[in-house]
Structure 1
Amino acid sequence: MKFNKRVLLSAAIACIGFTAFAQKDSGFGIKAGLNYNQNGDLIASVGDGAENIVQGADGKVGYHFGVFGKLELSSLYIRPELIYTRTSSSYDVSGSTNDYDISKLDLPVLVGVKVIGPLHVFAGPAFQYMLENDLEDFSINDAENDFTVGLHLGAGVNLGRLGLDVRYERGFSENEAEFVGNNVTDISGRVDSRPSQVIFSASLKL
């Protein structure tokens, strides 16, 4: 997985550097914002031979910040981003609410089109490297895959150097992590770390 992390960081630096200097109309900048996330199902059992308990996630607010580059191509543009993201969701397990927190590096590579005036729409793959995951009150293993791929799609407006956008992110495949309870009467199971989130961002072109 260390190899994948180096590939992700190298690709981000190369893409942002290329878009920043390829044309005079291109540029780079910083961005930050909030995200409302729901992970996949949690499947748990209490004791030996118990039936599985399936719980869907309740969404919670997280945050992100990072850098971007942008290459203008007439009415189209290409925009790679390198973002640190912290997401949170919660599960009701055996009568208690437990938060599931994830931190990761995201590299979306977006292709956008100008619609009218400052309005534009965009979509593209998002390559993700998980840095850490934590399930409150449980001991949890790393997810099956540190490196995953999802999809970003959304719309935004540009107001001079300031940009505002809203987008939806969805992971393509399940990426489960196993957990066990910290008490003698252990609850054990697995939780799907795949993201499903709405992201609100503000960006500033430097």
Structure 2
Amino acid sequence: MKKGLLILLFTFTATAATAQSSFGVKAGLNYGDNGEIEYSDFENAGEDAVKGAEGKVGYHMGIYYRGDLGGLYLKPELLYTQTKSSYQYNNEEADYNISKLDLPVLLGIKVLGPVHVFAGPSFQYILENDFDGVTIGDVENEFTIGAQFGAGLQLGRVGLDVRYERGLSENEAQVLDLNSPDGLKRVDSRPSQIIFALSLDL
């Protein structure tokens, strides 16, 4: 946690020191999933089985600070994000929901007119996780790291971008009741999602 706070402080200090900078708000939708589940397959003598998720739509909202560095820019963001995945197993269908704080730190470059591309790490703090109908424990690591890359348009004060995010840190949540009637055992909490965002410089 201390390392994350130091990174946050350094990033905002560095961007604030640049000659041209802007602060703004953003919001958007994300579509993807949170990884695989492990469960007892009742149709196969209760043997352990693994199944992937079906993606669902979530959302995010937050603030950002962009510091221009000539043809480059540095853009840290602080976002509240909710992701959702759907699973079908043992004749059950259930959703896995995660609420988290995201801190992407993106380095971008202007390539042609209003078009820019960017990439960077995304630091994540998981606030809450919930699986329909199952008592599930907290994730192994509240603080995790992922990676993002994407492209966008900056039209005056308004920005549009699309990006892909993948969680890099292994992070699972265990089912507390291993004798649960639906046979669920664990769920992978790493995100894999496409993110669409609209931003406004203030």
Structure 2 length-normalised TM: 0.91
Deviates more, 1:178-187 or 1:189-198: 178-187
Superposition deviation, residue 8 in structure 1: 3.9
Q: 2: distance between equivalents of 1:22 and 1:111? A: 16
Tell me, yes or no, if the aligned pair for 2:124 and 2:144 is still in contact at 8 Å.
yes
What residue in structure 1 maps to residue 199 of structure 2? Answer: 203
What residue in structure 1 maps to residue 87 of structure 2? Answer: 91
Q: 2: distance between equivalents of 1:89 and 1:186? A: 17
1:191 has 2:169 as partner: no
| Matching residue's letter, 2:24 | G
Structure 2 counterparts to residues 33-112 of structure 1, below 5 A: 33-45=28-40, 50-112=46-108
Tell me, yes or no, if the aligned pair for 1:12 and 1:81 is still in contact at 8 Å.
no
What residue in structure 1 maps to residue 115 of structure 2? Answer: 119
What residue in structure 2 maps to residue 29 of structure 1? Answer: 24
Query: Secondary structure of 2:47's match?
Result: coil
Tell me, yes or no, if the aligned pair for 2:82 and 2:99 is still in contact at 8 Å.
yes
Superposition deviation, residue 139 in structure 1: 0.4
Superposition deviation, residue 173 in structure 1: 3.1
Q: 2: distance between equivalents of 1:92 and 1:71? A: 45
Query: Secondary structure of 1:15's match?
Result: helix
Tell me, yes or no, if the aligned pair for 1:29 and 1:204 is still in contact at 8 Å.
yes
Q: 2: distance between equivalents of 1:186 and 1:123? A: 40
Tell me, yes or no, if the aligned pair for 1:149 and 1:171 is still in contact at 8 Å.
yes
Q: 1: distance between equivalents of 2:51 and 2:67? A: 43
For residues 1-22 of structure 1, give each alpha carbon's deviation from its aligned partner in whole angstroms, at most 9, with x where no partner exists.
xxx2x65456446534542x32
Tell me, yes or no, if the aligned pair for 1:16 and 1:68 is still in contact at 8 Å.
no
For residues 19-62 of structure 1, give each alpha carbon's deviation from its aligned partner in whole angstroms, at most 9, with x where no partner exists.
2x323421111110000021111001268x82012110000000
Q: 1: distance between equivalents of 2:39 and 2:180? A: 16
Identity within the alignment, %: 55
| Matching residue's letter, 1:37 | G
Superposition deviation, residue 64 in structure 1: 0.2
Tell me, yes or no, if the aligned pair for 1:12 and 1:82 is still in contact at 8 Å.
no
Name the count of aligned residue pairs: 200
What residue in structure 2 maps to residue 151 of structure 1? Answer: 147
**Where does structure 1 lack aligned partners over 5 or more consecutive residues?**
none
For residues 130-158 of structure 1, give each alpha carbon's deviation from its aligned partner in whole angstroms, at most 9, with x where no partner exists.
00000001000011111111000000000
1:142 has 2:145 as partner: no
Q: 1: distance between equivalents of 2:21 and 2:82? A: 29
Q: 1: distance between equivalents of 2:168 and 2:180? A: 36
**Where does structure 2 lack aligned partners over 5 or more consecutive residues?**
none
Structure 1 runs, 4 residues or longer, greater than 6 Å off:
none
Structure 1 length-normalised TM: 0.89
